[in-house]
A and B are shown apart, each in its own frame.
Chain A
Amino acid sequence: MLTSAAKTALYGAHVSLGAKMSPFGGFLMPIVYTSILDEHKAVRTAAGLFDLSHMGQLVARGPAVAEWLDRLTVNRVAGMREGQARYNIFTNERGGAHDDAILYRFPEDWLIVVNAANTAKMWELLQASKPAQVALENRTPQSALIAIQGPRAAEILAPLCGADLDGLRSYHALRTRLADGAGGVEVEIARTGYTGEDGFEIFLPAGAAPAVWERLLVAGTTHGLRPAGLGARDVLRLEAGMPLYGHELDEDITPLQAGLGWAVRWEKSDFIGKTALAAQKAADDYDRIVGVVMDGKAPARAGYAVHADGRRVGEVRSGSIAPALGGRNIATALVAKAASAPGTRLTIEIRGTEHPATVVPLPFYKRPA
């Protein structure tokens, strides 16, 4: 791609914190500030602060939004109440995924948060399919998204915010004011995240992001809060068994294959890809995403071949060291059904050598209750 990467409103903050910046989803994003492992640990034990302003923020308004989105997605939209958030997947006719997204229903409008790499595609898809009475806006350029994630996130954020965060349940959102050192700013706060920990995602105007970021960092200092980059985020989401578009889910990997069958609401009268998904479910012979734990120290990486009984059965889709599993190497792999049962012994081919591994249930990590 020849187009240069855009900068989020927090670019200057990242650079002054010494972050390593890399293009991701069209933006220059912080990959790591000091150490991916230290940032991972902060999120699991205290809290981490993430700039996710690269993610697409699409706003839909109008009387028929729910009915329209219900046609494009596998999960139920019409039943969502004001203040509710729900994971969903936009499917193609073959049942593959255009994108996975979180939909937020607010009193006056809907927020659809899509993957950065898919913002343009989703914008075009939504524009092309929307009913005339639905107004659609891509507010990504003038917006920011800051996530605070970890067991101490609530106690850091609550004093800065006008709303009752204790009463904000998981997968719910509210509009409130947040302290920015200059009279406060209107934000949306959602109890959602991509780390496997408790935490919040804060949607706010881009111009207010630097002040809010700074306030949160200062407020969190005594709680062990650290800025955390996309490197740590990828390890955290993989441990938590959460799919990453382009890895566990894409135009050719269906929600069923990705282990996201729980999100498919078959009782919906119709949605794009339903026929293909129903046929796939009935045949039940599809390749599927599994969790894999390596016996040894060599990390599995996306693209490595997976073998069972001397035959190729699939490939690794994501891989990392897993600090939450004592430093074991974990991976997801897309494998044949015959090789997908937990306990199945596999080998991963790494630079020409077969390394033994075992299929395990997902997620790898669940936070302590």
Chain B
Amino acid sequence: MSQPADRFYTKEHEWVKIEGQTATVGITDYAQSSLGDIVYVELPAPGAALERGKPLGVVESVKAVSDIYAPLPGTVAEVNAAVEDDPALVNRDPFGEGWLIKVSLTGDASPDGLLDAAAYAEFVRSL
């Protein structure tokens, strides 16, 4: 399972791609594969404040409800209406079209404590 090198990862299996003051957040291929068929996503409204490490929404498969945690602090700038409409998009393209939210970064948005692609791949191998 290859992890794109242009972003950071969490041990809760979110990815975050930082571009200037904006970050895009999704869940990893490992996460979608573990969950199975994703049937529902519940995302915060634009403008909602996100705290690093705190739940921002949920992804639900047929069997399970999983919290999504904010990898970085900020304000929700945009939610992916396409995945709200068709949650299976997260299964089909977790690192691309299946992104969940875009965040306007605020406060300490340094990637300290996040994993790079190699470290995340190592972490997944250890599971």
Q: Which A residues contact B (CB, under 8 angstroms)?
A: 20, 31-32, 35-37, 231, 234-235, 297-299, 301, 320-321, 327, 351
Partner of A351, one of B37, B42, B63: B42
Q: Which residues in A have their C-beta under 8 angstroms from that of B40?
A: 297-299, 321
Which residues of chain B come closer than 8 Å to A351, judged between CB atoms?
Answer: 42, 58
B62 touches A298 (CB 8 A): no
Give the CA-CA distance A37 to B87 in the complex, in Å.
13
Given A231-B62, A301-B65, A351-B58, decide whether A35 and B39 contact each other with a Cβ distance below 8 A.
Answer: no
Closest to B55 in A: A351
A301 to B40, CA, bound (A): 13
Please give 17 more A-B residue pairs, beta carbons under 8 A apart, in addition to A36-B62, A298-B40: A20-B36, A31-B63, A35-B36, A35-B37, A36-B63, A37-B62, A231-B36, A234-B63, A235-B62, A297-B40, A299-B39, A299-B60, A299-B65, A301-B65, A321-B62, A327-B39, A351-B58
Report the minimum CB–CB distance from B114 to chain A (whole Å): 26
Q: Is the CB of A36 within 8 A of B65?
A: no
Chain B residues near A321: list those with CB within 8 A.
39-40, 62
Are A298 and B37 interface neighbours, CB within 8 A?
Answer: no
* B residues in contact with A297, CB < 8 Å: 40
A87 to chain B, nearest CB (A): 26
The answer to whether A36 touches B36 (Cβ under 8 A) is yes
Q: CB-CB < 8 A to A327: which residues of B?
A: 39
Which A residues are in CB contact (< 8 Å) with B65?
299, 301
Chain A: minimal CB distance from B41 (Å): 9
- Lowest 10 A-B CB distances belong to which pairs? A36-B62, A321-B39, A37-B37, A35-B37, A36-B37, A231-B63, A299-B40, A299-B60, A297-B40, A32-B36
B31 vs chain A, min Cβ distance (A): 14
Per-position contact with A for B11-55: 1 when CB-CB < 8 Å, else 0? 000000000000000000000000011011010000000000000
Which of B's residues lie within 8 Å of A, judged by CB? 36-37, 39-40, 42, 58, 60-63, 65
Q: Which residue of A lies closest to B87 (CB)?
A: A297
- Residues of B contacting A231 with CB < 8 Å? 36, 62-63
CB neighbours (8 Å) of B36 from chain A are 20, 32, 35-36, 231
Give the interface SS of chain B, mostly helix, strand, loop or mixed.
Answer: strand
Shortest distance between the CB of A328 and any CB in chain B (Å): 11
Per the bound structure, the CA–CA distance linking A335 and B39 in Å amounts to: 26
Kindly state the separation between the CA atoms of A242 and B42 in the bound complex, as whole angstroms: 29
Kindly state the separation between the CA atoms of A91 and B40 in the bound complex, as whole angstroms.
38
Known contacts: A35-B37, A36-B36, A231-B36. The answer to whether A320 contacts B62 by CB under 8 A is yes
Q: What are 22 inter-chain pairs, A to B, with CB distance below 8 A?
A: A31-B63, A32-B36, A35-B36, A36-B36, A36-B37, A36-B62, A36-B63, A37-B37, A37-B62, A231-B36, A231-B62, A297-B40, A299-B40, A299-B60, A299-B65, A320-B62, A321-B39, A321-B40, A321-B62, A327-B39, A351-B42, A351-B58
Q: Closest A-chain residue to B34, C-beta based?
A: A20
A154 CB → nearest B CB, Å: 28
Q: Cβ of A31: which chain B residues have Cβ within 8 Å of it? A: 63
Closest A residue to B85 by beta carbon equals A297
- Nearest A residue to B61 via CB reads A36
- Complex: A327 Cα to B42 Cα, angstroms: 17
Nearest chain A CB to B42 CB, angstrom units: 7
Distance in angstroms between the alpha carbons of A321 and B36 in the assembled complex: 13
- A37 vs B88: C-alpha distance when bound (angstroms): 11
Closest-by-CB residue of A relative to B58 is A351
Residue of B nearest to A20 (CB): B36
**Which residues from B are CB-within-8-Å of A301?**
65
B36 to chain A, nearest CB (A): 6
How far is B36's CA from A20's CA once the two chains are assembled, in angstroms?
Answer: 10
* Distance in angstroms between the alpha carbons of A320 and B60 in the assembled complex: 11
In the complex, what distance in Å separates the CA atom of A320 from the CA atom of B64? Answer: 10
B66 to A: closest C-beta gap in Å? 12
Measured between beta carbons, the chain A residues less than 8 angstroms from B63 are: 31, 36, 231, 234
Q: Which residues of A contact B60 (CB under 8 A)?
A: 299
Report the separation of the CA atoms of residues A37 and B60 in the bound assembly, to the nearest whole angstrom: 14
Q: How far does the Cβ of A36 sit from chain B's closest Cβ, in whole Å?
A: 4
Chain B residues near A299: list those with CB within 8 A: 39-40, 60, 65
Closest Cβ of chain B to A141, distance in Å, is 28
Shortest beta-carbon distance from B73 to chain A in Å? 22
- Nearest residue, chain B, Cβ from A320: B62
State the CA gap A32–B33 with chains docked (Å): 11
Q: Give the distance to chain A from B38, nearest Cβ to Cβ, in Å.
A: 10
